[in-house]
């Protein structure tokens, strides 16, 4: 999901300016011209001529390996530096950046700062791997690197070369603009969501791409004809009068992906609780009592297997990342725990975001991490409840009733007059003037003053005011 007004920054290349160096965290804050300063770790700073960094073979981003120089030796305040965003600002944190630049194309990813050739592990044919490696090596400038993506399998030499040439031109433009402008400035922005999705996902397995806007349909066709002519007939214009999200049940799926509770087909359910540091997922049997003749262990295992499949799908749809704890229903047999673990592993392989999972513990818990580069769907589409202020609860009228009585007891000696006036929400006032009137009468006897309780429609359930005279309107 992406809105033009709120486009993400992942993939953008900036000329930034170092603001502060933090030796204790081996990191630096860099001004890239966005609202918040970006965060740069020492291990994400490319050192010219160092080489030796291992590179992931699919997404083109170098993995940090071995020891690195101290941050003070790598950057200094006021220094201008070329960086790329690898993680959007999330919550109160600024963007995460790297100076290992990677420019993605259809068939290859170009890495101008790393001398390396990588071939996607999903290309199984050794002959094809050798062909692609030789082709890339012939064309790449010295000291630079390319990752050959899965979709390049069986692509013609001309298609691969054209993709490489396009990315090399992009890099020359970036370097030219870097010399021409002072920091902070945006030098390169990746394609918008529609073109990115098509570039990265249009494969023989995909039946069609359906677009409901004439101008965007034409733009997409032009893009596909230029870079992927073999797939031009897969781009389709949606013509029905019914909104496209209704026609394909998308609206319903989005709503489902925002719900805390997700029902399973068997009658069980998943419950998602997203916190600041981690997301907890609880698996429940719910109404599922198992098929006739099945034991309790078999029923639980069947629910857990279904849950594993649905969890992988929901993580992708909700774009949940970071640390995730899954609480499967307890299984007695180790063989069943292994079966559920394998099912979860298999389901997660279809996810483009990298995930690492631990084996199921005896208590049924799985710890996992999933790569996160953008805010989750829930945080993009929703905001904290304005009534409870994001807590997920409010104090009950009964709790507020006794909170007010305690406050009256504290304040009574300091208030003049024979009567104390209380303004509260209507539900609290109704309770204090009705079912809880005995507690109010007891307080009247204790403080030797009258208590007048009035409901205010503009008051929050947790809001109240105590005074010695009525408020004049």
Is-contact 145 55, C-beta < 8 A?
A: yes
Parallel, antiparallel or unpaired: strands 185-188 and 209-211: unpaired
The reply to whether 35 falls in a domain is yes
- Residues 49 and 178 placed together within one structural domain of the fold: yes
Tell me the CATH number at 44.
2.40.50.140
- Provide the domain limits for residue 409: 397-467
- Residues 351 and 411 placed together within one structural domain of the fold: no
The reply to whether 376 falls in a domain is yes
Is-contact 52 63, C-beta < 8 A?
A: no
Q: What is the mean pLDDT of residues 336-355?
A: 90
pLDDT tops 80 at residue 276: no
Q: How many domains does the chain have?
A: 4
- Residues 166 and 276 placed together within one structural domain of the fold: no
Question: 125-168 pLDDT, tens per residue?
Answer: 899 999 999 999 999 999 999 999 988 888 889 889 988 999 99
- Residues 213 and 271 placed together within one structural domain of the fold: no
Query: What's residue 66's pLDDT?
Result: 46
pLDDT tops 80 at residue 60: no
- Residues 9 and 71 placed together within one structural domain of the fold: yes
Instruction: Report how far residue 284's alpha carbon sits from residue 363's, in angstroms, rounded to the nearest whole number.
Output: 14
The reply to whether 195 falls in a domain is no
- Residues 139 and 13 placed together within one structural domain of the fold: yes
The reply to whether 429 falls in a domain is yes
The reply to whether 257 falls in a domain is no
- Residues 15 and 140 placed together within one structural domain of the fold: yes
Dihedral over alpha carbons 27, 32, 38, 43 (to 10 degrees): -40
Tell me the CATH number at 458.
3.40.1260.20
Query: What's residue 63's pLDDT?
Result: 45
- Residues 287 and 373 placed together within one structural domain of the fold: yes
Q: What is the mean pLDDT of residues 330-340?
A: 90
Contacts of 34 (CB under 8 A, 6+ apart): 9, 89, 94, 95
pLDDT tops 80 at residue 416: yes
What is the value of pTM for the model shown?
0.73
Question: 78-121 pLDDT, tens per residue?
Answer: 999 999 999 888 777 889 999 999 999 989 999 999 999 999 98
pLDDT, the chain, mean? 88
Query: What's residue 94's pLDDT?
Result: 87
Domain boundary residue, one of 190, 208, 223? 190
Domain boundary residue, one of 335, 350, 381? 381
Is-contact 154 126, C-beta < 8 A?
A: no
Indicate the burial class of 364 (C-beta count within 10 angstroms; 0-12, 13-18, 19 or more).
middle
Query: What's residue 40's pLDDT?
Result: 94
pLDDT tops 50 at residue 441: yes
Query: What's residue 290's pLDDT?
Result: 59
- Residues 329 and 215 placed together within one structural domain of the fold: no
The reply to whether 389 falls in a domain is no
- Residues 18 and 71 placed together within one structural domain of the fold: yes
pLDDT tops 80 at residue 311: yes
* Model confidence band, residue 67 (pLDDT cutoffs 50, 70, 90): low
pLDDT tops 60 at residue 59: no
Query: What's residue 289's pLDDT?
Result: 62
Query: What's residue 325's pLDDT?
Result: 95
Query: What's residue 464's pLDDT?
Result: 96
Query: What's residue 54's pLDDT?
Result: 42
Query: What's residue 93's pLDDT?
Result: 81
Query: What's residue 379's pLDDT?
Result: 81
The reply to whether 313 falls in a domain is yes
The reply to whether 392 falls in a domain is no
- Residues 44 and 183 placed together within one structural domain of the fold: yes
- Residues 269 and 230 placed together within one structural domain of the fold: no
């Amino acid at each position: 999901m992406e809105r033009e007004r709120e486009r993400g920054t992942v993939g953008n290349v900036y000329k930034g300016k170092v603001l502060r160096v933090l030796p204790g965290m081996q990191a630096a804050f860099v001004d890239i011209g966005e609202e918040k300063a970006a965060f740069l770790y020492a291990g994400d700073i490319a050192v010219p001529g160092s080489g030796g960094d291992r590179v992931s073979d699919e997404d083109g981003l170098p993995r940090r390996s071995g020891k690195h120089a101290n941050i003070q030796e790598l950057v200094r305040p006021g220094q201008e530096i070329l960086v790329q965003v690898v993680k959007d600002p999330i919550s109160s944190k600024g963007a995460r950046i790297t100076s290992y630049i990677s420019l993605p194309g259809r068939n290859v990813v170009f890495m101008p700062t790393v001398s390396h050739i990588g071939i996607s592990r999903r290309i199984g044919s050794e002959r094809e791997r050798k062909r692609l490696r030789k082709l890339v090596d012939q064309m790449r400038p010295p000291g630079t690197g390319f990752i050959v993506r899965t979709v390049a399998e069986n692509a013609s030499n001309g298609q691969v070369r054209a993709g490489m040439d396009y990315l090399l031109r992009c890099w020359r433009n970036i370097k030219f603009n870097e010399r021409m402008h002072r920091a902070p400035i945006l030098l390169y922005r990746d394609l918008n969501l529609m073109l990115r999705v098509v570039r990265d996902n249009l494969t023989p397995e995909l039946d069609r791409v359906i677009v409901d806007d004439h101008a965007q349909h034409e733009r997409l066709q032009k893009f596909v004809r230029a870079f992927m002519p073999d797939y031009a007939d897969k781009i389709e214009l949606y013509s029905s009068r019914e909104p496209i999200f209704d026609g394909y049940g998308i609206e319903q799926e989005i709503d489902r992906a925002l719900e805390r509770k997700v029902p399973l087909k068997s009658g069980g359910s998943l419950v998602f609780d997203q916190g600041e540091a981690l997301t907890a997922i609880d698996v429940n049997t719910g109404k599922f009592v198992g098929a006739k003749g099945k034991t309790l262990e078999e029923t639980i295992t069947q629910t857990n297997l279904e849950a594993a499949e649905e969890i992988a799908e929901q993580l992708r749809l909700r774009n949940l990342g970071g640390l995730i704890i899954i609480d499967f229903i307890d299984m007695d047999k180790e063989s069943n725990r292994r079966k559920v673990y394998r099912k979860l592993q298999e389901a997660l392989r279809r996810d483009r975001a990298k995930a690492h999972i631990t084996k199921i513990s005896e208590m049924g818990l799985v710890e996992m991490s999933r790569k996160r580069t953008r805010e989750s769907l829930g945080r993009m589409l929703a905001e904290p409840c304005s009534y409870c202020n994001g807590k997920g609860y409010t104090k009950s009228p009964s709790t507020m009733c006794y909170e007010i009585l305690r406050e009256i007891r504290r304040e009574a000696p300091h208030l003049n007059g024979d009567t104390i006036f209380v303004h509260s929400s209507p539900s609290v006032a109704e309770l204090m003037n009705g079912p809880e009137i005995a507690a109010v009468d007891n307080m009247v006897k204790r403080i030797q003053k009258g208590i007048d309780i009035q409901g205010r429609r503009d008051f929050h359930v947790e809001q109240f005011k105590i005074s010695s005279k009525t408020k004049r309107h």
